[in-house]
């Protein structure tokens, strides 16, 4: 089966940054993308918060990311990942173009727009219902449209739509927006924008194309018609993580849980960008995640390959597991290295927590004797001489 050191799933800002860092670290990198490389930003008009570039279109920034990643020659492949499974300890990625084995994986599949789920939404999608102002806004020149939602994306995109539409209603279930203050102030000073507070969409109606939304006031229960030609839905996101459901730990509807090295609950599988459980989902945080995940994957691959060879293959190995954040243990490790040069394999147990768990090492520092990967003996070590009898 085809095998790579690092397979990145998704080529948005997180995946493309991971590809840059992974290749620069010397890994053999394969990037799998089911759609257009660039991710969600390809459908946003203006990005004002990518540091160093006060204003850039999403499409341009996506192109710059792609071209930058291509300079380091990762392999790009158009493929949709359907499942990731662990088979006899091997990480297998099942795609619509065949199976691939990976030493390490970065899941960077981002998130997608949530649907309203009301009658008319599915029928009129592409006939007045849209989830992308940049893609479809220009079709509504001098017409009235409604934006549904109250977060940053809804309010920003409503403002953008006023370039084309004669009027933009923002239908929101509460009586104030959740968006950032600056975003709200800009939109509210736009005379073409009119908020419709405390309201939810009951259904979307029309003949061939959308003609109106039927809304319900959640405070009074009153039902009324809002005549519009277009409905732009921005009511939140869901993570693209179904293909690892049941494999990695997730939170609140599928957001992948990671630690600060962006490791998931499965060894060698990392998650970066919008798909993970995090505070802020933006281009800059996705790119930062991509860098961290790729470097953590690099450290995992090199360490695992090295440790596999020196720890688990020989017939007898004495190894000293210590914590690299405890000064006393670092000193002890250095002294052991000096005294027993090459006779004792030093392993940073702090960085290799999962290996410690596998070997049953529950406290550090500890010395172990292994026979072809099986623990034969372990001993708590307080001074250099304590290890002598194991060698």
Q: Is 183 in the site for ligand FAD (CB under 6 A)?
A: no
Asked whether 387 and 346 are in contact (CB, 8 A), the reply is no
* Site of tokens 């990695």: 248
Least separation in angstroms between residue 174's CB and ligand FAD is 21
Kindly tell me which of 109 and 130 has the beta carbon lying closer to ligand FAD.
109
Binding residues for ligand FAD, total number by CB under 6 A: 35
C-alpha distance from residue 309 to each of 286, 304, 349, 373 (Å): 34, 8, 17, 10
Active site (annotated) includes residue 356:
no
Asked whether 216 and 200 are in contact (CB, 8 A), the reply is yes
Q: Is 78 in the site for ligand FAD (CB under 6 A)?
A: no
* Site of tokens 């030609």: 229
Active site (annotated) includes residue 118:
no
Asked whether 169 and 147 are in contact (CB, 8 A), the reply is yes
Mark residues 81-110: x for contact with ligand FAD by CB under 6 A, - for none: x--------------------------xxx
Q: Which listed residue (33, 103, 136, 267) binds ligand FAD by CB under 6 A?
A: 33
Least separation in angstroms between residue 15's CB and ligand FAD is 5
Q: Which stretch binds ligand FAD (CB under 6 A): 166-174, 183-191, 279-287, 332-340?
A: 279-287
Q: Alpha-carbon distance 213 to 224, whole Å? A: 9
Q: Alpha-carbon distance 55 to 49, whole Å? A: 8
Kindly tell me which of 13 and 230 has the beta carbon lying closer to ligand FAD.
13
Q: Which stretch binds ligand FAD (CB under 6 A): 40-48, 138-146, 196-204, 362-370?
A: 40-48
Q: Is 149 in the site for ligand FAD (CB under 6 A)?
A: no
Q: Is 263 in the site for ligand FAD (CB under 6 A)?
A: no
Q: Which stretch binds ligand FAD (CB under 6 A): 210-218, 253-261, 276-284, 337-345?
A: 276-284
Asked whether 200 and 226 are in contact (CB, 8 A), the reply is no
Q: Is 14 in the site for ligand FAD (CB under 6 A)?
A: yes
| Residue in 43, 50, 16, 49 with CA at minimum distance from that of residue 32 | 16
Q: Is 121 in the site for ligand FAD (CB under 6 A)?
A: no
Least separation in angstroms between residue 173's CB and ligand FAD is 20
Kindly tell me which of 161 and 387 has the beta carbon lying closer to ligand FAD.
161
C-alpha distance from residue 252 to each of 238, 239, 241, 370 (Å): 10, 10, 12, 41
Active site (annotated) includes residue 132:
yes
Q: Is 136 in the site for ligand FAD (CB under 6 A)?
A: no
Q: Is 258 in the site for ligand FAD (CB under 6 A)?
A: no
Q: Alpha-carbon distance 344 to 194, whole Å? A: 72
Q: Is 49 in the site for ligand FAD (CB under 6 A)?
A: yes
Q: Which listed residue (104, 274, 321, 333) binds ligand FAD by CB under 6 A?
A: 274
Active-site entry in 28, 132, 277, 386: 132
Q: Is 13 in the site for ligand FAD (CB under 6 A)?
A: yes
Q: Is 32 in the site for ligand FAD (CB under 6 A)?
A: yes
Give me the active site residues, please: 132, 135-136
* Contacting residues toward ligand FAD, per CB under 6 A: 9-15, 32-35, 39-41, 43-44, 47, 49, 80-81, 108-111, 153, 157, 240, 243, 273-274, 281-284, 286
């Amino acid at each position: 089966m085809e095998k790579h050191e690092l397979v990145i799933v998704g080529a948005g800002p997180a995946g493309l940054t991971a590809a840059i860092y992974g290749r620069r670290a010397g890994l053999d990198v394969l990037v799998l993308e089911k759609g257009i490389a660039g991710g969600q930003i390809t459908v946003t008009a203006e990005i004002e918060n990518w540091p160093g570039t006060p204003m850039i279109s999403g499409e341009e920034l996506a192109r710059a990311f792609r071209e930058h990643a291509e300079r380091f020659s990762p392999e790009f492949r158009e493929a949709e990942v359907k499942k990731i499974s662990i088979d006899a300890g091997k990480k297998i990625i099942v795609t619509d173009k065949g199976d691939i084995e990976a030493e390490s994986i970065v899941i960077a599949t981002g998130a997608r727009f949530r649907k309203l789920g009301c009658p008319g939404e599915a029928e009129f999608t592409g006939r007045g219902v849209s989830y992308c102002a940049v893609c479809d806004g220009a079709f509504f020149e001098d017409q009235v449209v409604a934006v549904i939602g109250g977060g940053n994306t809804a309010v920003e995109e409503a403002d953008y739509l006023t370039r084309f539409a004669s009027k933009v209603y923002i239908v929101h279930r509460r009586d104030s927006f959740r968006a950032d203050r600056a975003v709200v102030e800009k939109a509210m000073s736009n005379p073409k924008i009119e908020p419709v507070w405390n309201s939810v969409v009951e259904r979307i109606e029309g003949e061939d194309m959308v003609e109106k939304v039927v809304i319900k006031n959640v405070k009074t229960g009153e039902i009324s018609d809002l005549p519009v030609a277009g409905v732009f839905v921005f009511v939140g996101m869901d993570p693209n993580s179904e293909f690892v459901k049941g494999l990695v730990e997730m939170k609140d509807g599928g957001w992948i849980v990671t630690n600060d090295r962006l490791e998931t609950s499965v060894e060698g599988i990392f998650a970066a960008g919008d798909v993970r459980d995090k505070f802020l989902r933006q281009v800059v945080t996705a790119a930062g995640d991509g860098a961290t995940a790729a470097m953590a994957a690099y450290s995992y691959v090199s360490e695992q390959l090295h440790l596999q060879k020196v720890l688990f293959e020989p017939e007898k190995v004495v190894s000293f597991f210590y914590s690299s954040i405890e000064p006393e243990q670092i000193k002890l490790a250095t002294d052991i290295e000096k005294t027993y040069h090459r006779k004792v394999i030093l392993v940073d147990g702090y960085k290799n927590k999962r290996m410690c768990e596998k070997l049953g090492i529950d406290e550090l520092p500890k010395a172990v004797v292994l026979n072809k990967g099986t623990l034969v003996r372990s001993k708590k070590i307080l001074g250099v001489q304590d290890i002598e009898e194991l060698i």
